[in-house]
């Protein structure tokens, strides 16, 4: 059943919905490529693709579901002939409006291309189509004692193609890195319709420009990815999980900096502020200390039980020096699961507080983490807003989550002001406006403030060289 707010949104979109601008002759061409059941032009179908996990909404003129790389190449050639935009889309879990058709045109739904082509146990890699769900790959390789480390919060629904487009990170990024660190080779179609391959299924490759890395994080603006080869690693045999209670979130932030300065490498190091702790406990009943100012959740893993234990004990010593009020280690797998359930359900729990939830994403250098936490609290106070903060503290990546109601125009003005202040604070502290959610449509106005106009112009030159007609995902971060 839809919520009242969702019903209001749908009614508003349908009321303002315009007829498709894709001509019947173009529809016929698209149908000849992928079949009639994979070209969607009804109001209801187009509405379903009007948004991602960000709150902006744009109705596409049509949705096309290709099944092969050749389908995509043909579609791109037609788009250049007819001059309509094409927007690649995975599962629509993005948080910056990157997969919505902000200038109309065709949404290219890649969910049909969802096959794991190969798991190579000798060379430790997997070859996948872009529509493979991230968790599906992770589960498949774990059966062979292997790990695909990138683990975005949307791992159960997001696709590998979307992960590459956004250079997705996740809880394990502090130790294992992000999607780019596991990308070995991509097959793709450029906006003018030519297919190409970049990278290799080898551990080392410096043959020509690293176009695979260029596409990683390009948010579907430079090419449509049709096949992905990712590196795998052995699954760690031993784990130790700790929770630490702090009086304030800024004190927890300082402890994070001290843990990392000690030379320790946790697999995950997460933070929950007091508001997040309270709503998670109300939602999941995990026995969290609701009076705590903040919780740190840390996990160490590896292949030597002694080495993992030594790291966990060294972290405990740092936490004690950092004025942790309570430190507890999970005694078994069940308790460990409860610890990480608290982090996994943070967003869902916060989303129950108010009708509208706006999950933001900023990253600062580790020595500035505590200062950023304090700035977030001040921004919440000065704008009279509810903000719950959690995130990947070990790599300085915080997710301040604004709890509001988009039906309240006056409150939304304060929300927009607060969002701008969050980004300005991150930049003032030497950070970035996006650690893992991308720029897309929502953060485009802030990118020049971070990288400068000269960098923006260089990006535009790259875009023009590959996409002279500005066909592929126009209107995003540039």
**Looking at residue 131, which CATH number applies to its domain?**
3.30.465.10
In terms of C-beta density within 10 A (0-12 exposed, 13-18 middle, 19 or more buried), how is residue 338 classed? middle
In this structure, is residue 434 part of a structural domain?
no
Q: What is the mean pLDDT of the chain?
A: 94
As a whole number, mean pLDDT of residues 343-362 equals 94
The pLDDT of residue 413 is above 70:
yes
For residues 120 and 225, membership in a common domain is answered with yes
Distance of CA 320 to the CA centre of its chain: 33
In this structure, is residue 292 part of a structural domain?
yes
For residues 82 and 131, membership in a common domain is answered with no
Measured CA to CA, the distance from residue 290 to residue 293 in angstroms comes to: 8
Q: Both tokens of residue 478?
A: 């540039």
Let me know: does 106 contact 471? Beta carbons within 8 Å: no
Q: Domains in the chain: how many in total?
A: 4
pLDDT for 16: 53
pLDDT for 223: 98
Q: pLDDT tens across 204-224, in order?
A: 999 999 999 999 999 999 999
As a whole number, mean pLDDT of residues 213-238 equals 97
For residues 265 and 318, membership in a common domain is answered with yes
The pLDDT of residue 53 is above 90:
no
Measured CA to CA, the distance from residue 395 to residue 38 in angstroms comes to: 41
Cα torsion 104, 167, 396, 430: sign:
negative
| Pairing, β 362-363 against β 356-359 | unpaired
For residues 418 and 361, membership in a common domain is answered with yes
In this structure, is residue 444 part of a structural domain?
no
Nearest C-alpha neighbor of 216 from the set 235, 229, 232: 229
Phi, psi (rounded to 5 degrees) for 374: -65, -40
For residues 213 and 251, membership in a common domain is answered with no
- Angle, in degrees to the nearest 10, between helices 249-261 and 305-321: 130
The CATH code of the domain that includes 25 is 3.30.43.10
Range of the domain at 372: 353-428
Measured CA to CA, the distance from residue 23 to residue 395 in angstroms comes to: 48
For residues 32 and 132, membership in a common domain is answered with no
For residues 10 and 85, membership in a common domain is answered with yes
In this structure, is residue 443 part of a structural domain?
no
Band of the pLDDT at 294, cuts 50, 70, 90? Answer: very high
Measured CA to CA, the distance from residue 184 to residue 232 in angstroms comes to: 10
The pLDDT of residue 102 is above 70:
yes
The CATH code of the domain that includes 394 is 3.30.70.2740
Q: Mark residue 377 as left, alpha or beta (left: phi above 0; alpha: psi -120 to 50; beta: remaining).
A: alpha
For residues 388 and 338, membership in a common domain is answered with no
The pLDDT of residue 341 is above 70:
yes
pLDDT for 5: 41
Band of the pLDDT at 17, cuts 50, 70, 90? Answer: low
Question: What residues form DSSP beta bridges with 126?
Answer: 119, 230
Question: With pLDDT > 90 as the criterion, what percentage of the chain qualifies?
Answer: 92
pLDDT for 4: 41
pLDDT for 7: 45
Give how far Cα 207 sits from Cα of 152, 197, 204, Å.
30, 12, 9
Domain boundary among 303, 320, 347: 347
Domain boundary among 314, 347, 380: 347
Residue written as token pair 């508001």: 275
Nearest C-alpha neighbor of 387 from the set 373, 368, 371: 373
As a whole number, mean pLDDT of residues 45-72 equals 93
Q: pLDDT tens across 246-286, in order?
A: 999 999 999 999 999 999 999 999 999 999 999 999 999 99
Distance of CA 315 to the CA centre of its chain: 28
Cα torsion 332, 333, 335, 336: sign:
positive
In this structure, is residue 435 part of a structural domain?
no
Give how far Cα 226 sits from Cα of 73, 118, 130, 160, 472, Å.
10, 15, 6, 11, 15
In this structure, is residue 469 part of a structural domain?
no
Question: Helix H segments across 156-199?
Answer: 160-166, 173-176
The pLDDT of residue 55 is above 90:
no
The pLDDT of residue 135 is above 70:
yes
pLDDT for 3: 39
Q: How crowded is residue 32: how many other Cβ atoms within 10 Å of its Cβ?
A: 12
Non-local CB neighbours of 143 within 8 Å, separated by 6+ positions:
none
Band of the pLDDT at 11, cuts 50, 70, 90? Answer: very low
Q: Both tokens of residue 150?
A: 């990138």
In the three-class reduction of DSSP (H, G, I as helix; E, B as strand; rest coil), residue 45 is classed as helix
Domain boundary among 306, 326, 347: 347
In this structure, is residue 477 part of a structural domain?
no
Q: Both tokens of residue 72?
A: 């995509």
Residue written as token pair 């250049």: 80
Measured CA to CA, the distance from residue 158 to residue 229 in angstroms comes to: 17
Q: pLDDT tens across 457-467, in order?
A: 999 999 999 99
56 vs 293 pLDDT, higher one: 293
Q: How crowded is residue 354: how many other Cβ atoms within 10 Å of its Cβ?
A: 18
Nearest C-alpha neighbor of 175 from the set 53, 269, 93, 106: 269
In terms of C-beta density within 10 A (0-12 exposed, 13-18 middle, 19 or more buried), how is residue 280 classed? buried
For residues 126 and 227, membership in a common domain is answered with yes
Q: pLDDT tens across 448-457, in order?
A: 999 999 999 9
For residues 276 and 329, membership in a common domain is answered with yes
The CATH code of the domain that includes 316 is 3.30.70.2190
Q: What single DSSP character describes residue 38?
A: G
- Angle, in degrees to the nearest 10, between helices 24-34 and 69-82: 170
In this structure, is residue 457 part of a structural domain?
no
For residues 190 and 204, membership in a common domain is answered with yes
Q: What is the DSSP string of 422-469?
A: HHHHHHHTT-BS-SSS--TTTTGGGHHHHH-HHHHHHHHHHHHHH-TT
Q: How crowded is residue 325: how many other Cβ atoms within 10 Å of its Cβ?
A: 14
For residues 12 and 96, membership in a common domain is answered with yes
């Amino acid at each position: 059943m839809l919520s009242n707010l969702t019903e209001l949104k749908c009614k508003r979109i349908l009321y303002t919905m315009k007829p498709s601008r894709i001509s019947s002759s173009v529809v016929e061409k698209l149908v000849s490529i992928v079949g009639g059941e994979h070209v969607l032009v009804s109001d209801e179908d187009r509405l379903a693709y009007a948004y991602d996990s960000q709150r902006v909404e744009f109705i596409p003129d049509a949705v096309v579901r290709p099944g092969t790389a050749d389908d995509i190449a043909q579609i791109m050639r037609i788009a250049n002939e007819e001059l309509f935009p094409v927007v690649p889309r995975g599962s629509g879990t993005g948080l910056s409006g990157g997969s919505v058709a902000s200038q109309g045109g065709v949404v290219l739904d890649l969910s049909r291309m969802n096959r794991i082509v190969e798991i190579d146990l000798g060379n430790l890699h997997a070859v996948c189509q872009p529509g493979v769900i991230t968790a599906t790959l992770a589960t498949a390789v774990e059966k062979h004692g292997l790990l695909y480390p990138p683990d975005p919060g949307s791992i159960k629904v997001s696709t590998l193609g979307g992960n590459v487009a956004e250079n997705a990170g996740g809880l394990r990024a502090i130790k294992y890195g992000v999607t780019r660190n596991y990308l070995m080779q991509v097959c793709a179609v450029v906006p003018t319709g030519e297919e190409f391959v970049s990278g290799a299924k080898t551990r080392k490759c410096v043959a020509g420009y690293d176009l695979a890395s260029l596409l990683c994080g390009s948010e579907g603006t430079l090419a449509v990815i049709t096949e992905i080869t990712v590196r795998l690693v052995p699954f760690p045999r031993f784990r130790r999980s700790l929770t630490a209670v702090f009086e304030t979130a800024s004190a927890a932030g300082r402890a994070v900096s001290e843990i990392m300065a000690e030379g320790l490498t946790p697999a995950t190091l997460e933070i929950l502020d007091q508001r997040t702790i309270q709503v998670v406990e109300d939602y999941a009943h995990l026995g969290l200390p609701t009076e705590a100012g903040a919780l740190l959740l840390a996990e160490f893993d590896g292949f030597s039980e002694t080495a993992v234990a030594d790291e966990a004990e060294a972290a405990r010593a740092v936490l004690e020096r950092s004025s942790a009020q309570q430190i507890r280690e999970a005694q078994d797998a069940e308790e460990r699961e409860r610890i990480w359930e608290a982090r996994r359900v943070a967003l869902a729990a916060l989303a129950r507080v108010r009708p509208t939830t706006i999950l933001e994403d900023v990253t600062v250098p580790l020595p500035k983490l505590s200062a950023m936490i304090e700035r977030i609290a001040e921004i919440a106070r000065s704008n009279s807003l509810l903000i719950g903060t959690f995130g990947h503290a070990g790599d300085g990546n915080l997710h301040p989550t604004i709890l509001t109601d988009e039906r309240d125009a006056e409150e939304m003005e304060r929300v927009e002001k607060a969002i701008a202040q969050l980004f300005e604070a991150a930049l003032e502290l030497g950070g970035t406006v996006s650690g893992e959610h991308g720029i897309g449509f929502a953060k485009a106005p802030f990118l020049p403030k971070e990288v400068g106009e000269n960098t923006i112009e260089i990006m535009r030159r790259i875009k023009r060289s590959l996409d002279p007609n500005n066909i592929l995902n126009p209107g995003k971060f540039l």
